[in-house]
Amino acid sequence: MTTVTSTYEIVAAALETIVNQEFLEEQYVVKHDDIHESLGEDRTTIGMAPDDQTPRSDNRMIQETVVVVKWFGKYEARVDPTQHVDPRPITERAERFLRACGAAVVTSSQGFWYFNVDRIEYPSDPTGNKTRFVAYIRAYSQNPSIIETTG
Number of domains, the chain = 1
Domain coverage including residue 83: 7-142
Residue 129, pLDDT score: 93
Residue 58, pLDDT score: 65
Residue 114 lies in a domain: yes
- Rounded CA-CA distance 111/140 in Å is 10
Alpha-carbon dihedral sign for residues 45, 15, 131, 134: negative
Residue 2 lies in a domain: no
Residue 148 lies in a domain: no
Residue 120 lies in a domain: yes
- Per-residue pLDDT tens over the stretch 56-79: 656 666 778 899 999 999 998 888
Residue 87 lies in a domain: yes
Residue 149 lies in a domain: no
Check which CATH number belongs to the domain holding 131 and give it.
3.30.2000.10
11 with 48: CB under 8 angstroms? no
Confidence band, pLDDT 50/70/90 cuts, at residue 149: very low
Q: Could you give the strand order of the β-sheet that contains 45-50, starting from the edge strand earlier in sequence? A: 30-31, 45-50, 62-72, 132-142, 111-121, 105-108
Residue 150 lies in a domain: no
10 with 104: CB under 8 angstroms? no
- Residue 128 φ/ψ, nearest 5 degrees: 90, 10
- Per-residue pLDDT tens over the stretch 90-129: 999 999 999 999 888 777 666 788 889 999 999 999 999 9
Alpha-carbon dihedral sign for residues 107, 53, 15, 29: negative
Amino acid at 36: H
Residue 72 lies in a domain: yes
